[in-house]
Amino acid sequence: MTRILIALGILAALAALCCLESFALLLAAERRKRPRDLTSESLEGTRFEKYAANIISDVEAMRALPWEDVFIASFDNTRLHARLLRGSAEAVVLVHGYHSSPENDFAGIAQWYASRGMTVLAVDQRAHGLSGGRRLTFGGRERRDVLAWAQYAEHGLGAERIWLHGVSMGASTLLYAMGEGLPERVRGVVADCPFDEPVTLLAMHLKKRAGLPAFPLIKPCAGPAWRLLNDMPAGYTCHEAAAKSETPLLLLEAGEDGTVPPGSAAAIRAGRNNRDAQVTFPHAHHALCWQEDSEKYAEAIEHFLNRTRGG
């Protein structure tokens, strides 16, 4: 009996440690942090190294465009910022990823949309850039921020057709927004390297950090941390949210993605009865599909826009 009690005590201590680790990592992960400047910092040894010259050129070209600053208030009165490039009545809303920025995730892509004459709205997610907010929520609150930007594009800019394009956490934010009901003028969503569920993502990175299995210790602890800190139930997946929507979806997947859990794009597609196009870039690392093969990327978007444009 004594040995059993000791074993149970050890397991309880490990569980408590994992829960504390979950809360600590989640709190640290959600803090505001300045994104790296890809034009001035060394990219040696990073996933960007292979594409450094192209990235620097694309970022500088994006910065040179005639952007305007715009601000709106979100559902909780958080002040949100975006850069606006005026164009036609067709608009695209660009939503960047975790601790990133529009220029880091959309340099090259933004110029491509602009070359088609489209209005481009490159948003700073909450707790990023010039947007307000002290902490991000991996899509929990951001999904409603996206709705505010889509409504701004429709009513503030008079856009007749709107597309939403997200990278990494930005892609998952859009998938969660699909579950809230997108405005009618949103014709489609492009999701580049999304994760399917934040808690699974958190557990994966906790496993790397602490060296402990996701089950039975980490994931059950990460769930309560998520419920407490974010406006979204634990276990609510992107594929469940996206399945609620009839809005067309294009999934872009990096074949060598070591950041999001394997099979995320496939799970999202399966949740919508495999009706959406999925394009894989076999040699691309996370959020670098454009840099790996910009021609293939542009062709995929062009086809998607033409298919979803409608009358």
Based on the domain organization, do 177 and 246 belong to the same domain? yes
230 falls within a domain: yes
223 falls within a domain: yes
Based on the domain organization, do 216 and 81 belong to the same domain? no
Rounded distance between C-alpha atoms, residue 252 and residue 254, angstroms? 7
Based on the domain organization, do 191 and 51 belong to the same domain? yes
Residue 91 is classified by DSSP as: E
> What values do phi and psi take at 161, rounded to 5?
-135, 135
How many structural domains compose the chain?
2
147 falls within a domain: yes
Mean model confidence pLDDT for the chain: 87
18 falls within a domain: no
Nearest to 293 by CA among 276, 281, 280, 310: 281
| Distance from the Cα of residue 235 to its chain's centroid | 17
**Average pLDDT of span 136-141:** 88
pLDDT (tens digit, 9 = 90+) per residue, 173-195?
Answer: 999 999 999 999 999 999 999 99
Q: What pLDDT score was predicted for residue 38?
A: 83
User: What percentage of the chain carries pLDDT values higher than 70?
Assistant: 78
Based on the domain organization, do 111 and 207 belong to the same domain? no
Based on the domain organization, do 228 and 241 belong to the same domain? no
Which CATH number characterizes residue 53's domain?
A: 3.40.50.1820
Q: What pLDDT score was predicted for residue 44?
A: 86
Rounded distance between C-alpha atoms, residue 104 and residue 135, angstroms? 20
Based on the domain organization, do 97 and 218 belong to the same domain? no
110 falls within a domain: yes
Question: For residues 187, 250, 145 and 262, what is the CA-based torsion angle, rounded to 10 degrees?
Answer: 170
Q: What pLDDT score was predicted for residue 25?
A: 52
Among the candidates 235, 261, 293, a domain finishes at 235
Based on the domain organization, do 218 and 156 belong to the same domain? no
Among the candidates 212, 235, 258, a domain finishes at 235
Based on the domain organization, do 132 and 221 belong to the same domain? no
**Average pLDDT of span 94-101:** 96
Nearest to 127 by CA among 65, 169, 67, 181: 169
Nearest to 284 by CA among 192, 174, 217: 192
Report helix, strand or coil for 161. strand
C-beta of residue 105 within 8 angstroms of C-beta of residue 96: yes
Within 13 Å and on the Cβ side, how many CA atoms surround 48? 19
Record the tokens describing residue 185, joined without a space.
Answer: 């003028």
Question: Residue 304 belongs to what domain range?
Answer: 44-197+237-308
Q: What single letter denotes the amino acid at residue 212?
A: L
25 falls within a domain: no
**Who's near 205: CB < 8 A, 6+ residues apart?**
25
C-beta of residue 44 within 8 angstroms of C-beta of residue 92: no
Based on the domain organization, do 210 and 101 belong to the same domain? no
Based on the domain organization, do 214 and 268 belong to the same domain? no
Tell me: pLDDT of 11 over 50.
Answer: no
Based on the domain organization, do 139 and 225 belong to the same domain? no
pLDDT confidence of 310, banded at 50, 70, 90?
A: confident
The C-alpha angle with vertex 80 and arms to 35 and 68, in degrees rounded to 5, equals 85
268 falls within a domain: yes
Among the candidates 210, 235, 260, a domain finishes at 235
pLDDT (tens digit, 9 = 90+) per residue, 193-244?
Answer: 999 887 776 666 566 555 555 555 556 666 666 666 677 776 788 999 999 9
Rounded distance between C-alpha atoms, residue 135 and residue 142, angstroms? 11
267 falls within a domain: yes
Tell me: pLDDT of 272 over 80.
Answer: yes
Based on the domain organization, do 138 and 99 belong to the same domain? yes
The C-alpha angle with vertex 282 and arms to 280 and 284, in degrees rounded to 5, equals 95
Ramachandran assignment for 108, one of left (phi > 0), alpha (psi -120 to 50 degrees), beta (any other): left
Q: What are the C-alpha distances in Å from 275 to residues 94, 214, 220, 268?
A: 23, 31, 32, 11
